[in-house]
Amino acid sequence: AQSVAQPEDQVNVAEGNPLTVKCTYSVSGNPYLFWYVQYPNRGLQFLLKYITGDNLVKGSYGFEAEFNKSQTSFHLKKPSALVSDSALYFCAVRASGGYQKVTFGTGTKLQVIP
Amino acid sequence: NAGVTQTPKFRILKIGQSMTLQCTQDMNHNYMYWYRQDPGMGLKLIYYSVGAGITDKGEVPNGYNVSRSTTEDFPLRLELAAPSQTSVYFCASSYEVRMNTEAFFGQGTRLTVV
């Protein structure tokens, strides 16, 4: 069965510092990987995805993520954190090909400290 | 475009009551989903639909029913509400063509069963 692990419930980072939110996955075959962000009392918003191609994926709001097949990881990064980045971040995975169900991680709360 | 619209935003039910959570999307997406979000548990898939007239169970379908009579609408029915169904419910849709696999979420329905 496929799975996603977000090992940190919360990540604290000072404004202006780089941030990393970790994600590892398990899936049969080639993965499709996603990051979503959820602000309070809102639905999830798509940030970026890895389907194929370049391992470094760039997304919305200056976020990027690196696909590492050997480590089965897809960590979310941003060079300089903003207070407005404070939110709940979800990693998700599905197998490639046709329709495949998506599995979400449990989420990581990012707190950017002014 | 309104995207994915869910109603109501909040609801309190008594044990044993029934209700329907409405979901509609105006993006002509073929796939639609219902998730529930519980604290610290990420998102769990309840039901999904790959097109009008086709639905299938997700991870946690017990106590719920769905229908998909049109491309736009995907209502979720709770027949006999139980406290275990207290949760935040999200409807989502996606356009599963080529690599356009990311999901678009509604703003959620916060349901409390007392």
In 3D space, the residue among B72, B80, B75, B70 whose CA is nearest the CA of residue B7 turns out to be B75
**Cβ-based neighbours of B57, under 8 Å, separated by 6 or more:** B47
**Cβ-based neighbours of A79, under 8 Å, separated by 6 or more:** A18, A62
pLDDT of residue A76: 98
Q: Using a pLDDT cut of 70, give the percent of chain A over it.
A: 98
Poorest-pLDDT segment among A65-79, A95-109, B18-32? A95-109
Q: Per-residue pLDDT for B75 more than 70?
A: yes
Q: Per-residue pLDDT for B113 more than 70?
A: yes
B62 interfacial to chain A (CB closer than 8 Å): no
B31 contacts A43? CB cut-off 8 A:
no
- Kindly report, residue by residue over B19-66, the tens digit of the pLDDT: 999 999 999 999 999 999 998 788 999 999 989 999 999 999 999 999
- Kindly report, residue by residue over A16-44, the tens digit of the pLDDT: 999 999 999 999 888 999 999 999 888 89
By CB atoms closer than 10 A (0-12, 13-18, 19+), residue A82 is middle
User: Which of B46, B91, B101, B110 would best serve as a mutation to test chain A binding (most A beta carbons within 10 A)?
Assistant: B101
| Type of residue numbered B80 | L
The string of DSSP codes covering chain B is ---EEEE-SEEEE-TT--EEEEEEESS--SEEEEEEE-TTS-EEEEEEEEETTEEEE-S--TTEEE--SSSSB--EEESS--GGG-EEEEEEEE--STT----EE---EEEEE-
Torsion angle, alpha carbons of A68, A43, B13, B44, to 10: -10
For the segment B83-111, the average pLDDT, to the nearest whole number, is: 88
- Comparing alpha-carbon positions, the chain B residue that sits nearest to A94 is B101
pLDDT of residue A100: 75
pLDDT of residue B97: 66
Q: Per-residue pLDDT for B1 more than 80?
A: no
pLDDT of residue A53: 87
- Comparing alpha-carbon positions, the chain B residue that sits nearest to A109 is B40
Select the residue of B31, B41, B108 nearest A43 (Cβ to Cβ).
B108
Q: Per-residue pLDDT for A63 more than 80?
A: yes
